[in-house]
Amino acid sequence: MEFSSLGLDPVLERAVAESGYTTMTPIQAKAIPIVLAGRDVMGAAQTGTGKTAAFSLPLLHKMMKHENSSASPARHPVRALVLAPTRELADQVAKNIQTYSKHTKLRAMVVFGGIDMKPQTLELKKGVEVLIATPGRLLDHIEAKNCVLNQVEYVVLDEADRMLDIGFLPDLQRILSYLPKQRQTLLFSATFSPEIKRLAESYLQDPILVEVARPNATASTVEQRFFSVATDDKRAAVRKLLKDREITQAIVFVNSKLGCARLARSLERDGLRTNALHGDKSQDERLKALDAFKRGEVDVLVCTDVAARGLDIADLPAVFNFDVPFNAEDYVHRIGRTGRAGASGLAMTLVTREDTRLVADIEKLIKKKIDLEPLELDEGRPPREREREDRRRSRDDDAAPRPARSSYSAPRPAPRDPFFDKPYEASPASDEAPAWESSKSAQVSAARGLSPNIKPKKKVAALFGAKPPAPSGN
């Protein structure tokens, strides 16, 4: 079906045509008529199939009746609210909506954290019909009374499973409490678990489930390859695959922010133009990294799952899973960054022995048998890695048990002094008195008939300097 068959407002059709779109994707063909009819929708489709246009075009068409050129903020209340889980996704959705509404007088803007609130506050005070936001920053503006949501007619939860799954549920409930009870609610995502479906239905009124593909299916345009490698060989594997397949640009996904920064520095030292994108970077740094990658100034963008959703990069040839994702559903979103809008793409995952359970989870989710392929790296490994391998082998050799000696030699005896081996000999007799018997006290004791070793007893008075009594004349 073509967009012209929907009966959209001419200015919207003009903007869509200028964007190069003529034929609708399956999710757009099924969801747009239902949204135009005013029904609540739960839309599940593969990533990169145009879900943003599926909900934004019909909502813009329905809001054209409120279009006006008045400068008064009161004439431009928030009528459509789009909530997204990440800053990158919110920014991407805002750009698409601004593109579709560029020929209208409807105002659209985005608010997210990581940047100063003052410019956002000034824009909100001027009035805006379509507000795209992340939950945390939107609550900040609500508490600061920078925006009022009592006239919202349409609510969209983009990547709804992520919104309800990563801790946004309390914030989401607070935001929905500020909205009118009568509204049209749309949920769109690439994946829907049964638990998320039950939870999402509590926010919708008699929703219609729109699925254009098997749930949690990966795009058929993406070639998926799984390579069995050792942990220390992953970086060499990325370089080899980039070189052998002549890949000019790629996104490399890792599981941790620290691993993301380290891998980016390592690939930079290997001569690749590399940048990192993770949650510890400021919003300005993240936007600059994305812009540089889109302009072709960066060859490899190393990312955490903060970039697994919402990034729309035209003609991205390949995606690497340097680390197998802990959540199998994140695998679907990661590889969805390539093979978008019908283009072909390549997704390569590096698997170690420790990743067996995670690969089994992915296999169960996508309902497809995964075959691990060996990857030979020995010939193309750089000297640094060969040296590391040699050191590891030498450590293994040192730890190996050594063979027993063929002959045993007794230890040498310690040297001995022959004097201690002689028998006891008595000293020769001597007429001289011992030294201790030559003293005067010894002589006095001998005269009294006492042992020469016993000293004579002194009287107490002598101790205090008293003169001894004179001998009697008797």
Residue-wise pLDDT for 260-308, tens only, equals 888 888 888 888 899 888 877 776 787 788 888 888 888 898 988 776 5
pLDDT recorded at residue 11: 92
Q: Mark whether 189 and 255 lie in a shared domain.
A: no
CA distance linking residue 329 with residue 190, whole number of Å? 9
With bands split at pLDDT 50, 70 and 90, how would you rate the model's confidence at 425?
A: low
Is 457 a member of any domain?
no
Domain containing 307 — which CATH number? Answer: 3.40.50.300
Final residue belonging to a domain, choices 211, 241, 269: 211
Final residue belonging to a domain, choices 160, 192, 211: 211
Q: Mark whether 10 and 70 lie in a shared domain.
A: yes
Greatest alpha-carbon span in the chain? 160
Q: Mark whether 243 and 168 lie in a shared domain.
A: no
Helix boundaries (H) for 37-134:
51-63, 87-100, 117-126
Mean pLDDT of all residues in 176-188: 89
Residue 171 has pLDDT above 50, yes or no: yes
Q: Mark whether 234 and 317 lie in a shared domain.
A: yes
Q: Mark whether 191 and 228 lie in a shared domain.
A: no
Q: Is this model's pTM higher than 0.85 or not?
A: no
Is 448 a member of any domain?
no
Q: Mark whether 203 and 258 lie in a shared domain.
A: no
pLDDT recorded at residue 121: 93
Is pLDDT larger for residue 379 or for residue 90? 90
Q: Mark whether 97 and 74 lie in a shared domain.
A: yes
Residue 89 phi/psi, 5-degree rounding, is -65, -40
Smallest CA-to-CA distance from 220 within 49, 359, 364 is with: 49
With bands split at pLDDT 50, 70 and 90, how would you rate the model's confidence at 185?
A: very high
Is 233 a member of any domain?
yes
Residue 315 phi/psi, 5-degree rounding, is 55, 40
Final residue belonging to a domain, choices 380, 404, 427: 380
Q: Mark whether 204 and 229 lie in a shared domain.
A: no
Q: Mark whether 143 and 285 lie in a shared domain.
A: no
Instruction: Judge contact between 50 and 216, C-beta under 8 A.
Output: no
10 Å Cβ neighbour count for 51?
Answer: 26
Residue 249 sits in which domain range? 222-380
Q: Which two tokens stand for residue 272?
A: 């690749």
Residue 449 has pLDDT above 80, yes or no: no
Q: Mark whether 119 and 167 lie in a shared domain.
A: yes
Q: Mark whether 172 and 229 lie in a shared domain.
A: no
Give the amino acid at 19. Answer: S
Q: Mark whether 34 and 104 lie in a shared domain.
A: yes
Looking at the structure of the chain, the number of domains it has is 2
**Range with the lowest mean pLDDT among 19-23, 115-119, 267-271, 317-321?**
19-23
Most confident of the following: 38-47, 152-161, 383-392: 152-161
Residue 310: CB partners within 8 Å, gap ≥ 6?
84, 86, 88, 89, 90, 92, 93, 158, 159
414: left (phi over 0), alpha (psi -120 to 50) or beta: beta
Is 154 a member of any domain?
yes
